[in-house]
Amino acid sequence: MSLMMPLEVANLIRELRQQLGFSQEKLAAKLGVSFRTVNRWENGRAVPSSLALKQVEGLLHSMSNSSKATVRECGRELLAKYFQE
């Protein structure tokens, strides 16, 4: 996993949340963090820990294996865009 800049992280979190149709609260619950944490990530005021980024990457991998084509494509697209090896 490459090192991302705060703006990239903010964009990733926002894009992921929007593609899933999740509120910040719902994404926070999915990742096991608080709403305030997701809000701070999305607004570039904080950066997720490496563990949290691994959880986000895991969520994208599970999306990329989805039976729904749109979810699968979104997962693959975001993985390629933000988690290039």
Could you write out the DSSP letters of every residue in 17-85?
Answer: HHHHT--HHHHHHHHTS-HHHHHHHHTTS----HHHHHHHHHHHHHHHT-SSHHHHHHHHHHHHHH---
The number of CA neighbours under 13 Å toward the Cβ of 44 is 6
pLDDT of residue 5 exceeding 90? no
Residue 83 binned pLDDT confidence (cut-offs 50, 70, 90):
confident
Amino acid 64: pLDDT: 92
| pLDDT band with cut points at 50, 70 and 90 for residue 16 | very high
| More confident site: 2 or 17 | 17
pLDDT digit string, tens, across residues 21-79: 999 999 999 999 999 999 999 999 999 999 999 999 999 999 999 999 999 999 999 99
Domains of the chain: 6-82 (1.10.260.40)
Q: How many CA atoms lie within 13 A of 50 on its CB side?
A: 3
